[in-house]
Amino acid sequence: MKISEMKTSADVLEADLRDPEFRSEWDRTAFARAVALEVVSYRAKHELSQRTLARLLGMTQPQLARLEAGAHNPTIDTLARIAETLDIEFAIDIHPRRREPKLLSAGAKARNAIVAHQADAASILLATAPG
């Protein structure tokens, strides 16, 4: 098979998202993946190993690896530790699904990485900004 005939990761993801079970899990982990992306980006930018960054954050390397995998939503305590240690700001808006968010400004939505998650009764938006 030629490289030009191979599917891209975007093509594979698009196909996977048509599966309702996959889509549900993908949406459920959107917040965790966004936090993971910020942490991984910080670690790469500062050329840190997982072990070194874990030590800075007061956690073990396996705990950091799980955080970077983005499969589970981090706790508020973990977000606070990341914000303080890495100087990354997190803005989280949890609001009823029936209306648009009021706390995150239009500017924040336009400038920062926004991830949305639709829970059963609420919507969650996350904006991040490096220090």
Question: Which structural domain, as residue segments, surrounds residue 22?
Answer: 3-130
The answer, as to whether pTM is greater than 0.75, is: yes
**Where does the chain show beta strands of DSSP type E?**
88-96, 113-118, 122-130
Nearest to 86 by CA among 126, 120, 35, 125: 35
Q: What is the CATH number of the domain that holds 77?
A: 1.10.260.40
pLDDT score, position 31: 84
Bridge-based pairing state of the strands 122-130 and 113-118: antiparallel
Distance from the Cα of residue 101 to its chain's centroid: 19
42/32 Cα distance (integer angstroms): 15
The total number of structural domains in the chain stands at 1
User: Which tens digit of pLDDT belongs to each residue from 72-120?
Assistant: 989 999 999 999 999 988 877 776 767 776 776 666 665 655 666 666 6
The Cα 38–Cα 36 span in angstroms is 5
Q: Which residues of 17-52 are buried (b: 16+ CB within 10 A; e: fewer)?
A: eeeeeeeeeeeebbbbbbbbebbbebbeeeeeebee
